[in-house]
Amino acid sequence: MQIKLDSISHSYGDFEVMRDITLEIPNGKIVCIVGPSGCGKSTLLRFIGGLEQPSQGQVLQVGEPPEGCLNPLTYIFQDFALLPWRTVDGNVSLVLEDHGIKGKAAKAIIDDVLARTNLTDFAKALPKQLSGGMKQRVAIARAMAVNPAVLLMDEPLSALDSQTRELLMDDLVGLWERTPFTAVYVTHNLHEAVRLGHSIVVLSRRPGQIRDIVEIDKPLSDRQFGDADLDLHQKHLWNLMREEARAADAELINA
Ligand SMILES: Nc1ncnc2c1ncn2[C@@H]1O[C@H](COP(=O)(O)OP(=O)(O)OP(=O)(O)O)[C@@H](O)[C@H]1O
């Protein structure tokens, strides 16, 4: 399934948040969205997920969700959003229970997603026993369990330390290499964007408009830590964003 954003503009009352955003999220690709604080990245993700409606324009879903898809648009949040009283497998099973999937059918899905996220040995652990990185792996496993058409990720790694972020990025690349998924990935972090994005959408400061779309052809599995090509892309992105980020920062301070 593909997502098309057609001339999306939005205001909260007189407060204009974004203007005329037209964008395609191609099937099987990861599209990162970067931009200065307050430019509307999370708001755009909520429009894509159908949690909110834009004042103008529309979000189109083109094509069918994959077979076995239980929830076409599935979020992964920064704060993991796990139920503390449920074990790892219990947290994953919750989204299946919502769809009446129980017993052997549920176990097969849970075993598969826990294996894909290297969590098999932690199936009976409670969230409080897990590190932040492991908690986010559980959230990723839970999202994978519903076989989404599009994963919507809002700063999914920003609560983690930098080494754990690297490990989780490796995991996401591994998952994508095994079964390519479609994702919209909102981040402040340009290093994450160049590591994970097939394309990177740069928004201007508020009202957010598309300033540029940077395509990175290098296969995800060839993108290593410290890669010179990626550093160049990251520098280019930062050059596009620097002045806007400074202005957005000053705006917040003066608000
Ligand atoms: N429900 C709302 N009512 C009023 N203003 C809102 C609402 N939601 C978001 N905003 C404002 O809209 C602007 C865009 O918010 P949004 O969270 O989408 O930006 P962002 O680019 O994700 O920001 P950040 O990078 O800081 O997370 C911000 O100024 C925010 O305060």
- Give per-residue pLDDT as tens, 75-92: 998 888 899 999 999 999
pLDDT, tens digit, for every residue of 91-137? 999 999 989 999 999 999 999 999 989 999 999 999 999 999 999 99
Structure tokens that stand for 12 in this block: 């909260």
Tell me how far the alpha carbon of residue 140 lies from the centroid of ligand 1, in angstroms: 25
CATH superfamily of 2-65+152-254: P-loop containing nucleotide triphosphate hydrolases (3.40.50.300)
**Alpha helical stretches, state H, 122-189:** 132-145, 162-178
Q: What is the pLDDT along the chain (255 residues), one digit of tens a residue?
A: 899 999 999 999 999 999 999 999 999 999 999 999 889 999 999 999 999 999 999 999 999 988 888 999 999 988 888 999 999 999 999 999 989 999 999 999 999 999 989 999 999 999 999 999 999 999 999 999 999 999 999 999 998 898 999 999 999 999 999 889 999 999 999 999 999 999 999 999 999 999 999 999 999 999 988 889 999 999 999 999 888 888 777 876 655
Q: Whose CA is nearest to atom 28 of ligand 1?
A: 38
Q: 10 φ, ψ to 5°?
A: -155, 140
Rounded distance from Cα 217 to ligand 1 centre (Å): 31
Domain locations in the chain? 2-65+152-254, 83-148
Give pLDDT, residue 127: 95
The DSSP string of 27-62 is TT-EEEEE-STTSSHHHHHHHHHTSS--SEEEEEEE
* pTM of the predicted structure, to 2 decimals: 0.93
> Rounded to the nearest whole angstrom, what is the distance from the C-alpha of residue 38 to the centroid of ligand 1?
5
ipTM, two decimals, is 0.96
